[in-house]
Copies of this chain bind each other. A is one copy, B any other.
């Protein structure tokens, strides 16, 4: 049986019937309007019909096609308009803006759905033989521009991995699971659940992203504090390249020279297609708590986090919002009863008595999970540390409300896009001693960048994904669009954030990958010789440069190339979308 979960809507995030539910978050739109200086309520930018979306002229390589069709079933090869549009981009601002304006210039010529490793091998060999480029595709949730074709000289194939979705084996004694790479988050957790196991990897994109995508982009889940990033979970893997299959052994650690697992992890589709991985899994936790806290200021929260590192008692998730992100979180709250409104007033009074200056207060979300006795003990230890730094417990209701809506955040991008506002994110990681300076510099850079286009700036940040040596900083930014210059405006702001990361000694991304969005900074991040080393691997495993070409290899003038992307697509907004027409 072919399990074939639906694609997300072609013009935005999530299932076709799911939109951002502003009634469930009544405070959000008024907050956004006030912050971004938006007047009026009606959705502004109309959606085009699928039939009106402009696709690149199809390039057909008949010999490749013949070879492919003789090897695969007809239902594995598609070239419909819908399939091409769906596989054109990921879901970042640039992607959605272009699609909504009717441009899918990044679309492939063909979509192939392999059902096993041999299908992948056959496709790659045929592609190498006939000079066709291949872009591996998981859930299509990437927001760093990893998926659009970067050249139009050759036929382009999007290799959609979703039919390779099985958990092949679970070794309960060794806590490992062998899994096909096309499996989506919920499906994976359901299959592992039958063995009482969990992977513990819950990125924001969980509902719509795949194991192979996580590995190819070095993804991090919300509970990476406990379970690590995806690169920490991969015990072994198989990657099909144009030169054959690279396969490593399922051993916990080795001293067998350069660790070739790490050549495949983070390769962003440039070397081959990750077809399966054996992963570290964990018994489902007995107990799970989600307490939230309020800190009198950002720095106090940071100090509390670092003290948990020192005492080795970090919760399985921590997310410290800065004051701006705290205000957004409060605006995002579900509608509250009269009673809870009254309680909230009392609580605010209590906080003032405790010396809180409320506009500077910072919300800290946490989760604890594991064996019951361990969770209880750890919570006690963390509570003592948080109290020492002025943290006040908010109980579990904020945490529960976060849990209930944690996969909804990406919908905001669409909601605001429909209202002529741009929002996106830039995230990084740095050492503890550098978090505060980097935070301040990047907030300033973001706001200055937005102000340049003459609109009110909004930005906020949360600190999450902690490690002994540091943590991730996740910046969200938003602003009203300057009509006709939306793309330049976005790129200007995005560039400000990225440049601030690199100038401040941090990395170009903590878990969103390089893609096109971060490529100009790669050389500064891993050094020119690092880029050369990556190119050398590419040359060895993909000598014909058919795998996701143009990625991980900045050109001589990467910033100029990057800015060229800014040229807005030709307007093509004929009508509002009839959403019923977007069915598969």
Tell me which residues from 301 to 318 in chain A have a Cβ below 8 Å from any Cβ of chain B: 306, 309-312
Proximity string of chain A (247-261) to chain B, C-beta cutoff 8 Å, 1 when within and 0 when not: 111111111111110
B244, B370, B534: the one within 8 Å of A312 (CB): B370
* A174 contact set on B, CB distance < 8 A: 431-434, 469-470
A512 at the interface (CB under 8 A from B): yes
A459 at the interface (CB under 8 A from B): no
Establish whether residues A510 and B255, one from each chain, have CB atoms under 8 Å apart when the complex forms.
Answer: yes
Establish whether residues A537 and B255, one from each chain, have CB atoms under 8 Å apart when the complex forms.
Answer: no
A481 at the interface (CB under 8 A from B): no
In the bound complex, how far is the Cα of B433 from the Cα of A522, in angstroms?
41
Establish whether residues B259 and A267, one from each chain, have CB atoms under 8 Å apart when the complex forms.
Answer: no
Establish whether residues A540 and B536, one from each chain, have CB atoms under 8 Å apart when the complex forms.
Answer: yes
Proximity string of chain A (515-557) to chain B, C-beta cutoff 8 Å, 1 when within and 0 when not: 0001000100111111011111101110000000000100000
Establish whether residues A253 and B220, one from each chain, have CB atoms under 8 Å apart when the complex forms.
Answer: yes
Number of interface residues of A (CB under 8 A): 90
User: Taking the full assembly, how many copies of this chain does it contain?
Assistant: 2
Tell me which residues from 362 to 378 in chain A have a Cβ below 8 Å from any Cβ of chain B: 370-371, 374
Give the segment of A1-9, A19-27, A439-447, A500-508 that binds chain B: A500-508
In the bound complex, how far is the Cα of B513 from the Cα of A283, in angstroms?
33
Q: Which residue in chain B gives the minimum CB-CB distance to A532?
A: B540
In the bound complex, how far is the Cα of B257 from the Cα of A509, in angstroms?
9
Establish whether residues B258 and A506, one from each chain, have CB atoms under 8 Å apart when the complex forms.
Answer: no
* A245 contact set on B, CB distance < 8 A: 527, 529
A579 at the interface (CB under 8 A from B): no
Task: Tell whether A246 pairs with B529 under 8 Å between CB atoms, given A256-B507, A256-B522.
Answer: yes
Establish whether residues A552 and B175, one from each chain, have CB atoms under 8 Å apart when the complex forms.
Answer: no
* A540 contact set on B, CB distance < 8 A: 532-533, 535-537, 539
The minimal Cβ–Cβ distance linking A493 to chain B, given in whole angstroms, is 20
A263 at the interface (CB under 8 A from B): yes
The minimal Cβ–Cβ distance linking A497 to chain B, given in whole angstroms, is 15
Establish whether residues B176 and A219, one from each chain, have CB atoms under 8 Å apart when the complex forms.
Answer: no
Establish whether residues B541 and A536, one from each chain, have CB atoms under 8 Å apart when the complex forms.
Answer: yes
A57 at the interface (CB under 8 A from B): no
* A241 contact set on B, CB distance < 8 A: 529
Add 8 more A-B contacts to A175-B469, A247-B529, A252-B467 (CB < 8 A).
Answer: A173-B306, A218-B256, A246-B533, A256-B526, A257-B552, A259-B265, A260-B527, A537-B537
Sample of 8 A–B contacts (CB below 8 Å): A175-B469, A218-B254, A250-B431, A250-B469, A253-B472, A258-B265, A259-B266, A282-B468
A residues adjacent to B (C-beta < 8 A)? 171, 173-176, 217-220, 229, 231, 235, 241, 243-260, 262-263, 265-268, 280, 282-283, 306, 309-312, 370-371, 374, 428-434, 465, 467-472, 505-514, 518, 522, 525-530, 532-537, 539-541, 552
